[in-house]
C-alpha cells in the first residue's frame, strides 16, 4: 500500500511501469539450449536486460517473495513475473531450464522462482566445473588464421567472451 507525501506520484510511476511491461520484447532475452557451458553468458546478458527493463527484483534471488495482495506493487511484481516466464518459455529450450519453466508456470512469482532455480542449479559446484571444462575446450579450439571467415575483431571479441564466461564460472584466469 502506497501512502504519504508524494504517494500519488509514486502510484502513477508504478502504474506506468505496469503498462510498459506489455511493450517489452521477450525475444531480447538470449536464446539458450540449457547447456552449462553457455550458462555464464546467458545469465550475464539476461540479468543486464532485465535490470535495464527495471526488473531488478526478479534477478535478486535473495529477495523474499512478497505477500499476495491487491496493491499496485504486487500487481507490478506479478506482471514482471509473467513477462519473465513468457520470455524464458520463448527463449530457453531444452535441458534443466525447461523443467523449471514447467514447474513454475502457474505460479504468480514463477519468473522469479524459475530464475532463482536456474541460478541455484547452474551455480552448483558440479555444474560450474562442467561449464569451465566446456569453456576451456571452446577456448582451446579457438584459432585465428588468415583463412578465417571472420575478422580479428570478431576473434578477439569471442576470446574476451570466453574469458568473461570463465571468470563468471568461478575459474581464476591469470595473465599467462
* pLDDT one-digit tens code per residue, 108-136: 889 999 999 999 998 888 878 887 788 78
pLDDT of residue 38: 86
pLDDT of residue 3: 54
Considering Cα of 127, then 128, then 132, then 135, what sign does the dihedral take? positive
pLDDT tens profile 149-171: 778 788 788 888 878 887 877 77
Task: Report in angstroms the alpha-carbon separations of 106 from 81, 97, 114.
Answer: 11, 15, 11
Whole-model pTM: value is: 0.74
Higher pLDDT, 141 or 104: 104
CA 169, CA 28: separation in Å to the nearest integer?
Answer: 23
CA angle 152, 154, 157 (to 5 degrees): 110
**Which residue blocks in the chain are alpha helix, DSSP H?**
7-20, 39-52, 56-59, 72-91, 95-104, 110-122, 125-141, 152-168
pLDDT band for 1, please (50, 70, 90 cuts).
Answer: very low
Please give the grid coordinates belonging to residue 52.
535495464
Amino acid at each position: 500500500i502506497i501512502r504519504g507525501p508524494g504517494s500519488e506520484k509514486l502510484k502513477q510511476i508504478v502504474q506506468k511501469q505496469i503498462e510498459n511491461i506489455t511493450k517489452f520484447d521477450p525475444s531480447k532475452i538470449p536464446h539458450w539450449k540449457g547447456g552449462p557451458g553457455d550458462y555464464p553468458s546467458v545469465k550475464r546478458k539476461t540479468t543486464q536486460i532485465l535490470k535495464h527493463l527495471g526488473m531488478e527484483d526478479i534477478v535478486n534471488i535473495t529477495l523474499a517473495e512478497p505477500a499476495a495482495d491487491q496493491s499496485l506493487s504486487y500487481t507490478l511484481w506479478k506482471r514482471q513475473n509473467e513477462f519473465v516466464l513468457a520470455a524464458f518459455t520463448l527463449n530457453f529450450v531444452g535441458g534443466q531450464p525447461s523443467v523449471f519453466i514447467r514447474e513454475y508456470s502457474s505460479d504468480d512469482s514463477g519468473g522469479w522462482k524459475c530464475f532463482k532455480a536456474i541460478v541455484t542449479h547452474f551455480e552448483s559446484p558440479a555444474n560450474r566445473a562442467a561449464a569451465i571444462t566446456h569453456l576451456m575446450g571452446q577456448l582451446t579450439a579457438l584459432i585465428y588464421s588468415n583463412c578465417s571467415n571472420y575478422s580479428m575483431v570478431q576473434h578477439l571479441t569471442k576470446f574476451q567472451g570466453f574469458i568473461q564466461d570463465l571468470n563468471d564460472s568461478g575459474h581464476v584466469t591469470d595473465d599467462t
